[in-house]
Amino acid sequence: MPVTEFVGVTKDKDRGVTSNGGLYEFWTEDSAHVYLHDTDFRHLTYQPGRPPVLELEFVYDPQWTPPELSKTPVVVFRFEDVRLVEWREDHEGHDCVTAHPDAPPRQVELFDWDGADLFTLHTFTLYLAFHAPRAEVTVRAE
């Protein structure tokens, strides 16, 4: 079973991406602490080319941004050679967001990695499962 290659993430086994912590919390190769619970899922882009590419973008709220990411509060994951397994929108979640503007539509509930090449993302309104042999993590300004 192939194991995803991570680029832009520390190689330190205690601070990098693990199947126990998934992509929920880790450090970049520049020692910036990424904690997705403090971010909002902003959007995704899927390009069904050769290879298929999926980009996921998360952004920190200014009050929760770690000091080392204050100038680069946007976290971008770029997955290459993606094979989508499931993409499900939660219509009840969307209805809730429409009826209650204070509902957290972009809150990250879980962003998991199985230790091989399967990823699952759960937000208030989205469930996404996919395989990818390569993942690149970058941080950037707004």
| pLDDT tens-place string over residues 70-93 | 999 999 999 999 999 999 987 665
Compute the distance between CA of residue 134 and CA of residue 104 in angstroms, rounded to an integer: 30
> In the structure, what pLDDT confidence band is assigned to residue 120 with cuts at 50, 70 and 90?
very high
Q: How many other CB atoms are there within 10 angstroms of residue 44's CB atom?
A: 14
Q: Is the pLDDT of residue 33 over 80?
A: yes
Q: Where are the alpha helices (DSSP H) in 5-63?
A: none
pLDDT value of position 1? 63
Q: What is the residue whose two structure tokens read 């946007």?
A: 74
- Two tokens, residue 40: 């909002």
Question: What DSSP designation does 9 have?
Answer: B
Contacts for 126 with CB less than 8 Å, ≥ 6 apart: 41, 87, 88, 89, 90
Across all residues in the chain, what is the average pLDDT? 86
Contacts for 12 with CB less than 8 Å, ≥ 6 apart: 27
pLDDT value of position 135? 96
Compute the distance between CA of residue 17 and CA of residue 21 in angstroms, rounded to an integer: 7
pLDDT value of position 36? 85
Question: What DSSP designation does 91 have?
Answer: H
pLDDT value of position 23? 84
